[in-house]
Structure 1
């Protein structure tokens, strides 16, 4: 089986929220635990959780003891998402064949979607697979290890967007029907909406 390393970006400052959003309550747990649970239910080989702002508080809130999890603290998290991606990539196992980059505040991304990304990566033989709703691409994104040097050269807060633009001819995507899968949390209003969506999905 192909070895995919999940890299969960959980180092941000939550500036627009004004408080650590990843430990806000969601269902019977919190946002980051719900996100981690979905990743661990997928076919990833390991999960690197990149912490930064409020690292100790976030780590102590986690409920899982899964042996696939590794923690790394990004001391340069204020310099943008690219520093967390680099931290995560450098922490992955040597056996890893590709990196699944996910966001800590996307608890609605299901294991099914993650596994579809992995299946598409294997069947299409391309180097990059993204999730797409209509014409909008989003996270998580799956990137081959052949792009490791470019990932380690990223700068600022743009994540892997530049990498995708440069390699559109080596990129495939899976389509999702609902924009809810993309839902992330930046403001209090987003959080209130997330709780409604999450509760509805759990009750169905």
Structure 2
């Protein structure tokens, strides 16, 4: 499916609980915040809609500014402790009335090494509104992932921190390296990633 028929949903409302006191999305990675790598890559592509779910602006002012500058519609998750599902629900509620949108591409702000080519592979593997397409390192399913409009009611019922994992595990799997899909959870992750070349 062409990206022009898909809404990109960037999830950036996590509490960074495993990272310590600092906000991992604002940590420096190769000269800019971790989240900036992902939001800029996604914004450079021709999606029908750019949606980001973030923490309240008082808690993440820099990310809000960067998202606004790149044309994202910002939705606030003021209860990030409810897990990733709460962010997905907010995004789906926003996208559902947009009839031109045939599905969403879920992207995680703490996965900064994903190149546009992989996002495109996931989108192109989606055939219609029934499609579910996940990324995989050969072992488990993860975002970036396409979920067609037919599954929006199922997404609205999600709860907790598992997100759409069960749904993704039954979808088409687009394989790439674990280094590309690895997210940043801890300070140690970030330190090892500072030596990794994108894509």
Tell me what 1:121 maps to.
126
Give the Cα separation in 1 of the matches to 2:168 and 2:191: 32
Tell me what 2:63 maps to.
58
The CA deviation at 1:42 is 2.9
The structure 2 residue matched to 1:79, chosen from 74, 78, 82, is 82
Tell me what 2:115 maps to.
110
Name the count of aligned residue pairs.
192
Structure 1, gaps ≥5 residues long: none
SS of equivalent residue, structure 2 residue 193:
helix
TM-score normalised per structure 2: 0.88
The CA deviation at 1:146 is 0.5
Give the Cα separation in 2 of the matches to 1:55 and 1:88: 18
The CA deviation at 1:49 is 0.8
The structure 1 residue matched to 2:158, chosen from 154, 173, 184, is 154
TM-score normalised per structure 1: 0.86
Tell me what 2:73 maps to.
70
Tell me what 2:16 maps to.
14
Structure 2, gaps ≥5 residues long: none
Give the Cα separation in 2 of the matches to 1:78 and 1:63: 22
Tell me what 1:28 maps to.
31
